Structure 1
Amino acid sequence: MLDIDLDTLSLGDLKKLQARVSTAIKTYEERQRKAALVELEAKAAEMGFSLSELTGQTGRKAKVNPPKYRNPEDGTQTWSGRGRQPAWIKDALARGESLDAFLIVK
């Protein structure tokens, strides 16, 4: 164990030491986590499985909502029907048009 006399250090030196210790702890934990993962993957492979099969995780992917409405004047403009209405929808509704007129699948 290191024997550092903390009472002799300035406030700046103490803060630098604190930052270095914090970084060292984080990197140590990350190395331990990676080592554990490698060991678990090897054990799962030895038994004929992948770790993701055993844990039921297939990876995290963001759920994408498919577009439900399309602007007939510009086919590249679509809207899923969730969140804020795009300007072209607001304008059409203000003109009295029905939202159903913009449905992609009717």
Structure 2
Amino acid sequence: MSAKKLELESMSLDDLWSLHEEISGILSNRIKAEKHELEKRLAVLGGGMAVLAESSRPGLSPTAKARRKYPRVLPKYRNPQTSETWSGRGKRPRWLVAAVKSGRRIEEFRIGDASPKLRQRA
């Protein structure tokens, strides 16, 4: 064993703990300084301001993008028994699948053919 390791093993628990706190503080300060230096270099290279602005916002990772807003999709089909609706996007609802299996046509459930401008106001 090396002399340094023997010194550490012979130290009391309180001395070891204070050494640990001192080392942790030094490491923390060096990591902060290194991070600051890297951020300055990134800003010089360009695009750094966007990364810095995003990193300061809580809850978002630097690579996360804002979600695109999609237009509201109006329903195209209605269940006459329960008034449930379906926009025609995604998986077909169970009530429509069951009705089609029983021999009915999907067009029977189509909501009236009002002009698109009138349906957007609804």
- The TM-score range, normalised by the shorter chain, is 0.3 to 0.5
Larger radius of gyration, structure 1 or 2?
2
Structure-1-length-normalised TM-score: 0.46
Larger RCO (CA under 8 A, 6+ residues apart): 1
Structure-2-length-normalised TM-score: 0.40
